[in-house]
């Protein structure tokens, strides 16, 4: 029902009633009750339209659509553009066609500030062009997973929406470099861009489906370079799985967008040290950095990050297997604000890294050491005696660390805030060790391959051998 309200044009809502085959008498009754509701209803008498409008402005999409069906007067008020500044269809309905978007954009007009069409797969370029034309003041637009859109959407956005601050075109497999160029021309205020997970297209235009997270994207350095020149206010740059991303593109980004705070280069595996060093030198306010699976990187980029970016609080370097203790030693000396570190498969790190992290990063909450095979109980002991352990550490991942034994679990009893610990494939961990940890901190969520303890089968359900009277006898 609510969806119908959206799709219907404003003036046709009354005609709709007229067209339907109601008898004349019934029709007049409807009219009568309408006027009753509209003009004589208590709420409309008591509250002026301005106040009603104000109340409506706090409602979400679903409630607004419901209100729009109450009466004609309310219909006008509820569908007033001022109520529709933020629209998120993801939680509401993603299975929408183009006309819905066009109606929304006509209704909202210049009021619209934020719109999320995440996962609306059937939305195409045409309706988004209407959106861009009608709503010139959009600041935040999320088109993640709108697979049918192409470069032409970005072009209309850049042409009409000059105030754009945030753009998400992740998983839109048909967009190319041209989009980034267009955006960089038209939207100088852009602070946040997400171009990740675009599957499907390689340079030859062949379609592939890749195993799980290995997606390809058709960006190369030219697009990103243009973006760097055009949008110097960029704060967040997310491009997961863009395997064609080059060192040069990132260097260029670093030179021009010095305000960058969030950078995600997950799986951009052609990135070399130089790119990260440039980032570290220019973007000193970096807070979040993900370099997962950039396997060409070495310690020198960690060292330069340590020298320049003291604000860093999240570092994800899973799969950067060339990192060693030296890099993390440097990092732990300066980046004291570190809260989350993902060191999965940094196979060279040893207990000494843990020792330094325990000393240098007192705010550490989330630490992943999966597949760090050189870690031993000694390292965990250092970690557990530090301040971070006793106060902050909430998640610790130790799966596939073959040298970890029950002794580590004994040490971890000191971590009062620990909520989750991963112990998959740690062969030296025993069931009893986990049981001991659980008795000390019952709320902890231990992940291991042990079968759960099944409650004993309840005896109540089993069939009694004798009926009650026989039992008494």
**Which tokens go with 252?**
């260029």
Mapped onto helix, strand or coil, the DSSP state of residue 88 is strand
**Nearest residue (CB) to other proteins, 180 versus 423:** 423
Half-sphere exposure of 9 (CA within 13 A, CB side): 4
Q: Rule CB under 8 A: is residue 65 a binding residue for other proteins?
A: no
How many residues does the structure list for the chain?
473
Q: Name the residue among 226, 323, 232 with its Cα closest to residue 283.
A: 232
Question: Which residue in the set 211, 467, 472, 473 belongs to the binding site for other proteins (CB under 8 A)?
Answer: 211
How would you label 195-231 residue by residue, b for 16+ Cβ within 10 Å and e otherwise?
bbbbbbbeeeeeeeeeeeeebbbbbbbbbbbbbbbbb
Told to check if 423 binds other proteins by CB under 8 A, we report yes
| Three-state DSSP state, 201 | strand
Please, which residue, 128 or 426, has the CB nearer to other proteins?
426
Residue 410 engages other proteins in binding (rule: CB under 8 A): no
Q: Is the dihedral of CA 320, 324, 330, 335 positive or negative?
A: positive
Q: Which of 308, 424, 436, 441 binds other proteins (CB under 8 A)?
A: 424
| Least distance from other proteins to the Cβ atom of residue 319, Å | 16
- Of residues 94 and 298, the one with the C-beta less far from other proteins: 94
207 binds other proteins (CB under 8 A): no
Q: Work out whether 450 is an interface residue with other proteins (CB under 8 A).
A: yes
Q: Which stretch binds other proteins (CB under 8 A): 97-105, 205-213, 363-371, 458-466?
A: 205-213
SS3 349: coil
Question: Considering only CA atoms, which of 138, 204, 202 is closest in space to residue 168?
Answer: 138
Residue with Cβ nearer other proteins (257 or 318): 318
For residue 349, state whether it binds other proteins (rule: CB under 8 A): no
Least CB distance to other proteins at residue 346 (A): 21
Taking contact as CB under 8 A, which single stretch among the options 28-36, 209-217, 219-227, 230-238 is the one that binds other proteins?
A: 209-217
Using rule CB under 8 A, residue 425 touches other proteins:
yes
Taking a C-beta distance cutoff of 8 angstroms, is the pair 211, 203 a contact? no
Examine residue 427 and tell whether it contacts other proteins (CB under 8 A).
Answer: yes
Nearest approach, Cβ of residue 323 and other proteins (Å): 25
Q: Does 449 bind other proteins (CB under 8 A)?
A: yes
User: SS3 breakdown of the chain: % helix, strand, coil, rounded to 5?
Assistant: 45, 10, 50
- Cβ 142 to other proteins shortest distance, Å: 17
Q: Would you say 323 and 302 are in contact if contact means Cβ atoms under 8 Å apart?
A: yes
**Residue 102 or 377 with smaller CB distance to other proteins:** 377
Contact with other proteins (CB under 8 A): which of 23, 205, 442, 451?
451
Number of helical H runs and strand E runs in the chain: 22, 14
Which residue blocks in 167-220 are alpha helix, DSSP H? 177-186
Sign of CA dihedral 156, 157, 158, 159: positive
Footprint of other proteins on this chain (CB under 8 A)?
94, 209, 211-212, 423-427, 429-430, 445, 447-452
């Amino acid at each position: 029902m609510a969806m119908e309200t959206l799709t219907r044009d404003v003036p046709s809502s009354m005609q709709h009633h007229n067209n339907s085959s109601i008898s004349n008498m019934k029709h007049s009754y409807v009219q009568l009750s309408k006027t009753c509701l509209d003009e004589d209803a208590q709420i409309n008498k008591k509250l002026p339209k301005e106040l009603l409008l104000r109340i409506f402005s706090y409602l979400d999409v679903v409630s607004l659509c419901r209100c729009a069906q109450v009466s004609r007067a309310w219909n006008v008020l509820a569908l007033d553009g001022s109520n529709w500044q933020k629209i998120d269809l993801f939680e509401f309905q993603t299975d929408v066609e183009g006309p819905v978007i066009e109606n929304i954009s006509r209704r909202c007009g210049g009021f619209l500030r934020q719109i999320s069409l995440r996962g609306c797969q059937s939305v195409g370029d045409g309706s988004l062009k209407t959106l861009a034309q009608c709503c010139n003041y959009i600041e935040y637009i999320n088109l993640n997973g709108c697979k049918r859109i192409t470069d032409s959407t970005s072009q209309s956005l850049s042409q009409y929406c000059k105030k754009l601050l945030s753009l998400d075109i992740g998983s839109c497999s048909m967009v190319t470099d041209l989009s980034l160029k267009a955006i960089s021309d038209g939207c100088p205020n852009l602070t946040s861009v997400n171009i990740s997970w675009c599957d499907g297209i390689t340079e030859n235009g062949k379609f592939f489906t890749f195993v799980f997270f290995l997606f390809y994207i058709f960006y190369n350095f030219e697009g990103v370079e243009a973006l760097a020149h055009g949008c110097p206010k960029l704060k967040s740059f997310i491009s997961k799985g863009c395997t064609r991303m080059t060192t040069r593109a990132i260097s260029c980004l670093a030179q021009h967008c010095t305000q960058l705070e969030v950078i995600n280069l997950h799986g951009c595996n052609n990135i070399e040290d130089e790119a990260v060093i440039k980032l570290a030198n220019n973007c000193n306010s970096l807070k979040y950095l993900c370099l997962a699976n950039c396997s060409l990187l070495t310690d020198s980029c960690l060292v330069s990050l340590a020298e320049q970016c003291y604000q860093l609080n999240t570092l994800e370097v899973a799969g950067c297997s060339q990192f060693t203790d030296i890099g993390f030693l440097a990092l732990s000396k300066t980046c004291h604000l570190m809260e989350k570190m993902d060191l999965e498969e940094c196979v060279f790190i040893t207990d000494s890294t843990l020792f330094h992290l325990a000393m240098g990063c007192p705010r550490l909450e989330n630490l992943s050491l999966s597949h760090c095979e050189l870690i031993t109980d000694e390292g965990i002991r250092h970690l557990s005696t530090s301040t971070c352990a006793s106060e902050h550490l909430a998640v610790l991942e130790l799966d596939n660390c073959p040298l970890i034994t029950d002794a580590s679990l004994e040490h971890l009893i000191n971590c009062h805030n620990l909520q989750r610990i991963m112990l998959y494939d740690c062969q030296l961990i025993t069931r009893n060790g986990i049981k001991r940890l659980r008795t000390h901190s019952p709320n902890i969520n231990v992940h291991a391959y042990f079968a759960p303890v099944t409650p004993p089968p309840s005896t109540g359900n089993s069939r009694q051998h004798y009926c009650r009277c026989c039992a008494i006898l």
